[in-house]
Amino acid sequence: MGLEIKIPAVGESITEVTIAKWLKADGDTVKRDEVIAELESDKATFELPAEADGVLKIRVAEGETIGIGTVIADIGGDGAASNGAAPAAAAPAAAAPAADPISKGEENPQASNQSGYGGSQAGSADTATPAAAPAAGEAASGGASVEMKIPAVGESITEVTVAKWLKEDGAQVQRDEIIAELESDKATFELPAEGTGTLRHAAKEGETIGIGATIARIEGGSGASAAPAPAASAPAPAQNAPAAAPAASASTSYATGTPSPAAGKILGEKGINPNEVQGSGRDGRITKEDAQNAQVKPAAPAPAAAPAKAAPAQQAAPAASGNRNVRRERMSNLRKTVARRLVSVKNETAMLTTFNEVNMQPIMDLRNKFKDKFKEKHSVGLGFMSFFTKAVCVALKEWPAVNAQIDGTDIVYNDFCDISIAVSAPKGLVVPVIRNAEELSFDGIEKEIQRLAGLARDNKLTIEQMTGGTFTITNGGVFGSMMSTPIINAPQSAILGMHNIVQRPIAENGQVVIRPMMYLALSYDHRIIDGRESVSFLVRVKELLEDPTRLLLGV
C-alpha cells in the first residue's frame, strides 16, 4: 500500500487550501523532499514536498479547494528500484518519443535530480552518465555533503527570505559559523553552518523559500570544489541529440506566465490577458499581487492620415531636464505583513479615535528634579515612556474592556498588562512587548524599554518578544507629529498615541498661561469598547499624568 500525502497544517487560522499547480504529473517517479505541488491559501502560497521516493498517484485535481488533513495523493512502489535500473528506465523512454518534454520530461529521473549541484545533466539521454557523475563527485569531495534546510522559526511562519549571504558560494566554513541572515514577515534570524567544509548556495539573495526547503549544502573537505568538473564534461556527447531541446526549454518553466487560481479570477474580472502580465512568483508564475497590480493597457491609437504625420512632432512636450532615475526595490516580508495587517484592521474593526490633551509641566518638573539621582542609582535615564506606561496600566485595571480582545464570539479579558511599545527599526515598524508592566517599577520599565529598543535596532528581536501584547503605546511625537489617529495593533482592541510637546496658551485658574501641552489619541474597537469607557480611560490617563504623585501613591 502506498504512502498517503495529506494537506499539512500551514498556519494557525488556515482551514483549507487550493491546489494551485501540480508540479509533477500523475504516474511520475518522484524523490523524497522533491516539490510536487503548489498549495494556495487566502494568505500565502506553499510548496508541498514528497514524503518518500516512489510513483505519484494524484487524487485531487488542480484548482480544487480542500481542507487541512485531506489526502491529495499517494506515493507507491519502490522508488529506489524504479529509479536505480538504467536499462529499465531507458526502455519506456525509447518507446515513447512523442512524450511532452515540458511535463518533467527527462527520461532519466536521476539526471533531473542532479541538476544544480553536479553539473547540467537534465538534457542527457545516456542513463549511465548521470549515475557515474555523483560517484565521481563524492570521490573528489573526500566526504559526504551536509544538506542544510530552512528550520522551523515560528508557529505561523511558512516561508522566509534569504536577506543576505554572509559567506560566498565556495567559501570554507566552520560548524556553527553564521553563514546567512534569513528574514520572515516578523523578524530576522541567523543561520549557522551545520558542518565544516565548502559552502554551496542553493538559493539566491532576496529569494523567498518555504520552511524545510534546501538553502545550501556543505561539502566535506577543501577539495570539494573539484566535484563538478567530471559532471560538466559528461553531457558533451548529448548536446547534439534530440533530447537537448527539452534542456534548452528548462529556462522557461511550465509555470512562466501561468496565473494562480486567485490571480486568474482577478485578471478575468479586469479583462486582462495573462500573456500581458509579468509574473513575479516561482518560475515566473503570476501571483495574486501581480494580478492586483496589473493595469489594462490602453488601446492602440488608429493610424493617422498621411498629411497629419508632422503634427505630433510639432506638438510634442519639451523633454524633461534633470535626473529622471526610478528605483524599484523588492518589498520585504516584514513590510508586506505590516501592510496586510493594517488594511485588515481597517476593514475588520469598528475603529474610532477619541482625543484629549495633557499638561506635561508636572512630569517635566519631576524629571528635572530627580533625573540625575535616578540615573546615578539605576544606571538608566528617566523618560516620559515610564510615566505613560504606569498611567496606562492603572487605567487598564479600572477599565478592563480596553485591555480585552474579541475571539470569535467571545470577549477575552486580561488581568495583566503586557504593553506593546511601537519602535521604528531599520527594516520597519516593530512592536516589542513589556510583560507584566503593571508589576514593574519606573526603573524596571525604563530598563526593559532600553533593552528591547536595542534589540530592535540590531534586528535581533524574536517572535516571542513581539507577540502577545494586550495594549499598545506609540510615540509619533519623537518625529514631530502634532496629532494622528493610530491604527489598532490586532488582535488588541486599543492603542494610545503620544505626540510632540508644544508650548501653548491655556486657561488655568482664570488666567491665560503658557504650558507644555501634548495631544493624546486613543484609537479603539467600538465593537467591544463603548464611548463611555474609551473617554473615561483617556481622562484617567490624563489625570495621572498631570498629577504624577498619584502614580507613586496608587490613587
The C-alpha atoms of residue 41 and residue 19 are separated, in whole angstroms, by 9
Distance, CA of 234 to CA of 552 (rounded, Å): 80
How many CB atoms within 10 Å of residue 522?
23
Closest CA to 443 of 354, 382, 532, 400: 382
For the annotated catalytic residues, the residue numbers are 526, 530
Say which DSSP state 435 is in.
T
Whether the bond between 491 and the residue before it is cis, its omega within 30 degrees of 0, is yes
Task: Note the helical H segments in 226-287.
Answer: 228-233, 244-248, 261-270
Which residue in this structure is represented by grid cell 473615561?
536
SS3 108: coil
Q: Which of 458, 427, 480 is nearest to 185 (CA)?
A: 427
Write the CB contacts of 162 (distance below 8 Å, at least 6 apart in sequence).
180, 181, 182, 183, 203, 204, 205, 206, 207, 208, 209, 215
Return the C-alpha cell found at 247.
Answer: 534542456
Bridge partners, residue 77, by sequence: none
CA atoms 100, 103, 104, 107: torsion sign? negative
Cell of 262: 486567485
CA-closest candidate to residue 521, choices 489, 475, 470, 468: 475
How far apart, in whole angstroms, are the C-alpha atoms of residue 536 and residue 439? 23
